[in-house]
Chain A
Amino acid sequence: MEAVLQSILDVPGVGAVMVLDAAGHVAGHRGRAVYDRALCEQVGGLVIKAVDAIQLQQEDWDSMTATFGDGKLILRRLAGEEGVNHILAIVADATLNISFATVSIRVAANKLRAALRNGATEAIPVTLTPVPVAPSPADSKVALSNSGLSWSRPSSLGLSRIATADPASAAFLSRSAKELARQLGPMAKVYVEEAVRRVSPDTPFALSAAAKLIEDLAGSIEDPEDREAFRKAVSKG
């Protein structure tokens, strides 16, 4: 594993390589001195926030590139064992030859995916921890990921841990999450997941529980007008 990450770090222009778990924590890391583990932990939380939000629009994304004035942040989704997703994140400066790097990243990502499928996640923190290792910052921004709810696992619905009775129920949940996102932003899916657990704790969610769900979700919207707009938008669909 360490060799895989090192192979990416060896690409000219690459400053850091990390494997992030679904909570945004650094599961593996190799980097130049300036990109120490503490910094990567901080950035990991932000990256997962962005990834969780992107999945509201594109559930089955597999790569993402953020281009900055002085470099790039390149992400690849690594499917791990059941229910667990990891992200390969690469920090590069402006000298990166993206064509050359793409090949190396693809090869490395495939190796990491295979390793994760084989349950290598436990080994990553041990084998990939660079020296020196700084303690994780207490204020790491992992608010979304700390919920333990991940949007990272691909599914037809995106509400990855919710069982639904039929496709219509699944479509209703997706619509509810999108409408709620207008009021609450990307956290909406988390709210929907939690609400489904409350209104339909023991059985797959069905449309018969839709009214209860709408009221539950509406309760999370502070503004009365927004709350009513949400009720109307979800109900009319």
Chain B
Amino acid sequence: MTDIATIARFPEVKKIVRTDRQGTLIDSLREPEPEGVAAVAGFVVGALVQAGDQLGLGALRRVVATGPRYADLAAVSERTIILLRIEPASAVVAAEKALDAPSQGRK
């Protein structure tokens, strides 16, 4: 399992929420309302998975929503969703690498 404390060391990662695919909170860092964020993440992923199924796009892996100030990145695995709030938004690529790094290290 990805260690969210490791990801949280990156200064651009402002908040982290980990949830299961149904939107039930597993753990979080620096997010004052993690349950609400987890529920929304579960719902968004569920809707996009359905859309992806209908479009024949395969398994959902990442969702990145970007605005002028920050980006929200959801890394979707078979059982969990890790949601990162990244600020500034331009750091989203670096954050994705940070997310990938722990799993790569276990291979």
A residues within 8 Å of B by Cβ?
A: 15-16, 34-35, 39, 42-43, 46-47, 49-50, 53-54, 56-58, 60-73, 91, 93, 141, 178-179, 181-182, 185-186
**Bound CA span A39–B50, Å:** 12
Closest residue of chain A to B96, judged by CB?
A67
* Docked-complex contact B48 and A182, CB < 8 angstroms: no
Q: How far is the CA of A69 from the CA of B33 in the complex (A)?
A: 31
The answer to whether B39 and A49 touch across the interface, beta carbons within 8 angstroms, is no
User: Across the interface, do A46 and B43 meet the contact criterion of CB distance under 8 Å?
Assistant: no
Q: Are B54 and A46 in contact (CB under 8 A)?
A: yes
Give A42 to B84 CA distance when docked, in angstroms: 29
Closest Cβ of chain B: how far from A154's Cβ, in Å? Answer: 10
Contacts A50-B51, A53-B43: A64 and B57 contacting too (C-beta < 8 A)? no
| Bound CA span A221–B23, Å | 18
Given contact pairs A54-B40, A62-B68, A66-B62, a sample of 6 additional A-B residue pairs in the complex whose CB atoms are under 8 Å apart: A35-B55, A61-B72, A64-B64, A71-B55, A141-B50, A179-B36
**Residues of chain B with a CB closer than 8 A to A141's CB:** 50
A53 proximity list for chain B (CB < 8 A): 40, 43-44, 47
Q: Which residues of B contact A43 (CB under 8 A)?
A: 51, 54-55
How many Cβ-Cβ contacts under 8 Å join chain A to chain B?
117
Residues on A with C-beta less than 8 A from B47 are 46-47, 49-50, 53
- The interface residues of chain A, by DSSP majority, are classed as mixed
Contact yes or no, B48 A66, CB < 8 A: yes
B105 within 8 A of A: no
Q: Which residue of B is nearest A65, CB measured?
A: B64
Q: Which of chain A's residues has its CB closest to B23's CB?
A: A185
Contact B66–A57 (Cβ < 8 Å): no
Q: List 5 tightest A-B contacts by C-beta distance, closest first.
A: A69-B58, A70-B58, A68-B57, A50-B47, A46-B51
CB of B37 within 8 Å of the partner chain? yes
* 8 Å CB interface, B35-71 against A: 35-37, 39-40, 43-44, 47-48, 50-52, 54-70
Chain B residues near A186: list those with CB within 8 A.
39-40, 43-44
Q: In the complex, what residues of B have CB within 8 A of residue A91's CB?
A: 55, 57
Residue of A nearest to B66 (CB): A63
- Within the complex, which residue of B54, B63, B67 is in contact with A65, where a contact is CB–CB below 8 Å? B63
Complex partner residue of B57 from A46, A54, A69, CB under 8 angstroms: A69
